[in-house]
Structure 1
Amino acid sequence: MSSVSITKRIDSIDVLRGIVMVIMAIDHVREFIHVQAFTDDPLNVLTTTPVLYFTRWITHLCAPTFVFLSGLSIYLQSIRKTKAELSSFLFKRGIWLIFVEFGLISLAMTFNPLYNLLIMQVIWAIGISMIILGFLIRLPFKVVLAIGLIIVLGHNFLDFYEAEPGFKAGFWWDLLHHGSFAIYPIGGEHFLAIMYPFLPWTGLMILGYCFGVYFTNQFSSSQRQKVLLTYGLSLLVFFVLLRSINLYGDPHPWTPQASGFQTFLSFMTVHKYPPSLAYMSVMMGIAILMLAFLENIQNKISAMFRVFGRTAFFYYIIHFYLAHLISTLLFFYNGHSFDEAIKGLQKIPFLFSIPGEGVGLGLVYLVWILLIVSLYPLCKWYDAYKTAHKEKWWLSYL
C-alpha cells in the first residue's frame, strides 16, 4: 500500500462524525430527564409513540458509525505511519480509552464518586477494538478484511448457542458477545456493567479500516461517491431481505402486530447489545449513504458539524457531564434532597434520577438544542487549539 496516499483531510468524514455526535446527545438527554426514561423502553412497540420510538431509533446510528469511522481513520493513519508506529499508537490509545471509560464516563453517568458501578460502553468497545486492530494491521490487507467479514457476517451464529436451554454466559462470554447490561460484582459494593460486548464492534471497526482504501487518492471524489452509493443502497437492500427471512441476523425475530404500523416498528427494531448483523446493515447503509451525500457539501451547517466531528472525543465527555448536571438541577428544582438521591441508588445506580419523574419529550428536545448550542463555542475553541498546536503529541489521544 506504499503507493497509496491522501492529498488532504476529507471533510465528509468529520461532518458525518459530527452529525452522529449531535444526534447521540438527544438520546442521552432523554435518558437523564425524560419522564419515561427509567420506566419503559422507547422501542416497545406496544407502549411507545411514533415520535418517541424514532427519537430512540435514529440514535442507533451513532455508535456503529463512530466505530466504523474510527476504523476508517486508522487506515488513513496507516498511510502516514509505519505499521510498528501505528500498532504502538493503537495499543496506547486503546488503553487510554478504556481508562477514560471507567474513570470519566462512568462517573459522568452515575455522578457517584465512589465508583460503585463501572460501565463498559462504546468507548471501552472502541478501546479494546483498537488494541486488537493494532495487532491485526501487521497482517496482509486481504486477511484483515476476511477476519472483519467473518466476524460481522457470522457472529450471529452464536445466537443459536446462546438460545439453548440452560445456557449461562459467564463473564468472559458476556464480555465477548452475549452481555447486555450484564452485572458482575468486582469486590465489596462495586460492580461492573457490560453494555458493549466487543466482538461484533471489533469486526465493524476492522471493516471500517478496510473501507478506508476508498478515501485515498486511488479514487476521485466522483468515483468514491458512486462506490458509497452502491455500498449504502446494497446494505439497505440486504437488510430488508435478511430481516424479511427472519431466520438469521438478529436474536429477536420481528412479529406481526395489531396494526401495520406496529408491525413495521417490530420489523425495524433490531438488536444493539451486541449489534446484530441486521442492526449493522441498516445503520451502516444509512451512514454510508450519508457519506456519499456529504462528499461535496461545504456550507455553514456542514462547517458546524465538522467542528463537532473534529472534537468528537472532547465533546463526548463534556456532553455527558452537562446532561447529567441538567438532570441534577431538575432533581433539586422538584424539591428533592441529597438524602433522597442516596436512597434512590437502591432503585437505579444513577444519582439525582427518579424513575417516573421527568419532563415531556418536547422539553427534552429543547434541552438538547440548548446543550448543543452551548457546546459549540467550546468545541470550536478546542478545534482551533488542536490545529494551532499539532506539535503537542498528547492531543492525538483526545
Structure 2
Amino acid sequence: MTFPLPHTSVTASALNPVPSSIKSRIESIDVLRGLIMVIMALDHTRDFFHGQAYTDDPLNLDTTTPVLYVTRWITHFCAPTFALLSGTSIYLQGLRKSRSELSLFLLKRGLWLIVAEVLLIVPGDTFTLFTSITLVVFWSLGISMVFMAGLTWLPFRAILSIGLAIVLGHNLLDAVEQAPGFTSGFWWALFHGGDHRVFDYAPGRVIVVLYPFLPWLGLMMLGYCLGRLFEPTVAASKRQQWLVYFGAGAIGLFVGLRLLNGYGDPFPWSVQKDGLTTVFSFLKVHKYPPSLLYMCITVGPALLGLALLENIHNRVTAVLRTYGRTAFFYYTIHWYVLHTLRMLVFFAAGHTMTEADKSLKIIPMRFVLPGEGGYDLGVVYFIWIAVVASLYPLCRWFDDYKTTHKEQWWLSYL
C-alpha cells in the first residue's frame, strides 16, 4: 500500500466545488471537534466551581483521586486535537482557494484570533480588562496561522518535514531550559517556555504565557499534511487505514519513549505506592509547553476516533457536529456563561464586591475564591452538562445563520 503523493500546487480541478463524497469526511472532523469542545467545557467548569480548583493540582499524585485525575486528564485531548484539526481545515480551504487567497486569509484570521484572545476570551475568563492578559488557545492558534500564511507557499514535503522536526525535536530545548542559571525571558516564553510565565507590562498589569507557539505550530503543520487524506481522490477505506496507522503509531511511540524514560517529556515517571498511581505517573505528561509524549498520547487516540466517527451517524453525532461547526462562537460564549453563574453563586453565598476585588490579588479571576468556596465533582459535572446543553440552541441558531448567510465575509472568521 502506498500513500498518495501530495499536490504541491492547487490544480484547476481543486478549484471546482468539492464533490459530495467528501461531505461525510468533513462531517467527521466537525463531530470530533464538537466532542473536544464539550470535553473542554468540563475542565473550565471545574476551574470555576470545584472546591479544590485553586488549592491543588488535580494531577498531584499525592493528593488526587481517580475521578479527579481522570476528569482533568481527559481534557488534555482538547487543545492538541483542535490545533491538529485547524491545520487540516487549512489544507481543505486550500482546495478551493488560491495560494495567495489562502495566505492572506490565514494572516488576517491569525491576527484576529490574537486580538480575540485579549478582547473577548480573557475578559470572559477573568471579568477584567487588560489586568491579566493570558495567552492561551486563541493566541497559539492565531500566531500559528500567521506563520502558516507563509509556510503554505512551501512544497508539501517541506511542510511535513518541518512539522515533524518541530514535534519530534522541540524537547531538545528542555536541556537548555533545565540548565543551571537559565532564566526565561518574555520572547523565549512565547517561543517555547510557557508554563505560566508572568511578565509585568505596566504597573499592576501582567501578561501570562501558558501556550508558547513552537510546538503548537508544529502540530498545526502536521494537521495540514493530514488534510491530504481528506481529498476526494482518496478512497474512504484507505483514508481510514492511514488514520488507524498514524493513531496507533503515535500511541506506540508514546509507550516506547515513556518506558525508556529518557526523551520526549521533561519529567520522568516513577513507580508509585500502588499500580493505579503508577499508571497515573506514566500518563502524567507536560502540557505547558506540550511535550512530544503529550502530543502522542492525545493526538494518537484522536486519529483513531476520527477514523471511527466517519462511520457513525446518529443524533449524538448530529449534536456534536453543531458544536464543532460553531467552535469559535461556542468557545467564546461558554466563558461568559460559566463566569456569570459563578458570580451569581458568589453573591448568593453572601460575598461582597470588596471580596471579589481582593481575590484578584491571589487569582486573576473575579468572583472565584480559593479554598472551600466551591463544590464537589458531582455538582461540577451537573453544572457542566447543564451549561453545554443550554448552549446548544444558540449554537444551532448560529450554525443555521452561517449556512444561510454565506455571502457575509466576516462569518469565515468565526
Select between 344-353 and 129-138 the one with higher mean Cα deviation.
344-353
* 1:1-398 correspondence to structure 2 within 5 Å: 1=7, 2-3=10-11, 5=14, 6-7=18-19, 8-9=22-23, 10-113=26-129, 115-356=130-371, 357-398=373-414
Partner-residue secondary structure (3-state), 2:232: coil
**In the TM superposition, what whole-angstrom CA distance separates every residue of 1:251-291 from its partner, at most 9, and x where no partner exists?**
11111111111111000000000000000001000100000
Distance 1:139 1:315 in 2: 33
Instruction: Tell me, yes or no, if the aligned pair for 1:93 and 1:127 is still in contact at 8 Å.
Output: yes
Instruction: Tell me, yes or no, if the aligned pair for 1:61 and 1:284 is still in contact at 8 Å.
Output: yes
Amino acid across the alignment from 1:88: L
Partner-residue secondary structure (3-state), 1:119: strand
Instruction: Tell me, yes or no, if the aligned pair for 1:180 and 1:194 is still in contact at 8 Å.
Output: yes
Instruction: Tell me, yes or no, if the aligned pair for 1:27 and 1:55 is still in contact at 8 Å.
Output: yes
Tell me by how many angstroms 1:190 deviates. 1.2
Tell me by how many angstroms 1:181 deviates. 0.5
Amino acid across the alignment from 1:106: V
Amino acid across the alignment from 2:183: K
| Equivalent residues, number | 397
Distance 1:263 1:56 in 2: 17
**In the TM superposition, what whole-angstrom CA distance separates every residue of 1:304-331 from its partner, at most 9, and x where no partner exists?**
0000000000000000111111111111
Distance 1:122 1:133 in 2: 16
Partner-residue secondary structure (3-state), 2:153: coil
Amino acid across the alignment from 1:379: C
Distance 2:194 2:238 in 1: 40
Distance 2:134 2:94 in 1: 31
Partner-residue secondary structure (3-state), 1:186: strand
Tell me by how many angstroms 1:219 deviates. 1.2
Distance 2:326 2:277 in 1: 38
Amino acid across the alignment from 2:331: Y
Amino acid across the alignment from 2:107: F
Tell me by how many angstroms 1:99 deviates. 0.2
Distance 1:224 1:139 in 2: 24
Select between 178-187 and 15-24 the one with higher mean Cα deviation.
178-187
Tell me by how many angstroms 1:218 deviates. 2.3
Tell me by how many angstroms 1:118 deviates. 0.5
Select between 117-126 and 6-15 the one with higher mean Cα deviation.
6-15
Instruction: Tell me, yes or no, if the aligned pair for 1:176 and 1:198 is still in contact at 8 Å.
Output: yes
Distance 1:282 1:343 in 2: 40
Partner-residue secondary structure (3-state), 2:202: coil
- Give the structure-2-normalised TM-score: 0.95
Distance 1:299 1:223 in 2: 24
Amino acid across the alignment from 1:154: G
Distance 2:360 2:316 in 1: 41
Partner-residue secondary structure (3-state), 1:184: strand
Tell me by how many angstroms 1:233 deviates. 1.1
Tell me by how many angstroms 1:368 deviates. 0.4
Distance 2:107 2:330 in 1: 23
Tell me by how many angstroms 1:244 deviates. 0.6
Tell me by how many angstroms 1:198 deviates. 0.4
Distance 1:44 1:29 in 2: 19
Distance 1:314 1:96 in 2: 14
Query: What is the CA RMSD across the aligned residues, in angstroms?
Result: 0.9
* Gaps in structure 1 of 5+ consecutive residues: none
Tell me by how many angstroms 1:67 deviates. 0.5
Instruction: Tell me, yes or no, if the aligned pair for 1:221 and 1:295 is still in contact at 8 Å.
Output: no
Distance 1:144 1:343 in 2: 48
Partner-residue secondary structure (3-state), 2:133: strand
